[in-house]
Amino acid sequence: MPIYLPIAEISVNLFLILGMGGAVGFLSGLFGVGGGFLMTPLLIFTGIPPAVAVATGANQLVAASVSGVLAHWRRGNVDFKMGTVLLVGGVIGSGFGTWIFTLLKSAGQIDLIISLSYVIFLGVIGGLMLVESVGALLRSRKGNAPRKKLHQHYWIHGLPFKMRFRKSKLYISALMPIGLGFLVGILSAIMGVGGGFIMVPAMIYLLGMPTSVVIGTSLFQIIFVTANVTLLHSIATQTVDVMLALLLMSSAVVGAQFGTRIGARLRGEQLRSLLAAIVLLVCGKLFLDLVLTPEDLYSIGLLNER
């Protein structure tokens, strides 16, 4: 069933868009990520212009994240104090990122920058997560792994302006989560992501938060950062397709609830392994699209002739 998208200026299959929203919402609840790292590339693969995919994908993340946070909040797995501090940096970063996006769009380079950003960040983060999570799974199967500290201490843990986060059992500098939120805010504006694929591992390995609290807290800050990105894009770049956003949001809310229930049954190492594998698959597809022409894709059978 085709439906016309006024801002994207193309017709798409209604059930395909609903299915994509539901699948990304499911991943949002399962892994504690906004799902933008998957949604934006999927929209691009279906023919949506990259600039519209970024701005509209950020809007869809709001609904998926709200649904996921409510489910995690009922289980007591959200550190609202940590989420608020992350949000401070995220709001500032999203404003700065939108300004960069506007400059790149006016220079005609935004499509290339979006694709390159995804390949670089997804490749690095996915690779690191896969190595660590597989190693953790192998050690847990042996059953004789030494007991680890709650988290490692680096030089950044000696920074000033320390705050106590009782839910996460941490006493660290507020500059760390603010800086992390700032980086994620920039990525959210330029790439249309909630930043969960960077936020989740950083909160676990850098801040030292428990995995069970990380997921809900990540989704909490994603709500407000992506909402701010959507507002800024609608004002500065006019690339938010409301029709597309409503379709994605309606199915993402449902998918997030199912993902949260299944995620509660899996161990942290299993969740990180699955997330790393999905990140690397998306990265591989984007990389092929960058380096191969349509003729190359026809020849190796990755693209059907029209």
Q: Which of 268, 252, 258 has its CA nearest to residue 77?
A: 268
Q: What percent of the chain has pLDDT over 90?
A: 0
DSSP letters, 144-176, are -PPPPPSS---GGGG-SSEEEETTTTEEEETHH
Judged by DSSP in three states, 301 sits in: coil
Q: Which of 202, 216, 191 has its CA nearest to residue 32?
A: 216
Give the model confidence (pLDDT) of 183-222 as tens digits.
Answer: 888 877 877 666 666 777 778 777 778 877 887 888 888 7
pLDDT at 150: 46
pLDDT band at 26 (very low <50, low <70, confident <90, very high): confident
pLDDT at 276: 77
Model pTM above 0.75? no
In the block, tokens 């401070």 appear at: 88
Question: Minimum mean pLDDT among 26-40, 48-62, 143-157: which range?
Answer: 143-157
Report the alpha-carbon distance of residue 15 to residue 76 in Å, rounded.
35
Please, what is the angle between helix 175-191 and helix 50-74, to 10°? 140
pLDDT at 231: 80
> Residue 166: is it exposed, middle or buried by C-beta count within 10 angstroms (0-12/13-18/19+)?
exposed
Residue 91 has pLDDT above 80, yes or no: yes
For 149-154, what is the mean pLDDT? 52
Report the alpha-carbon distance of residue 11 to residue 143 in Å, rounded.
54
Residue 306 has pLDDT above 50, yes or no: no
- For the record, the structure tokens of 273 come out as 């392994």
Residues 85 and 181: beta-carbon distance below 8 Å: yes
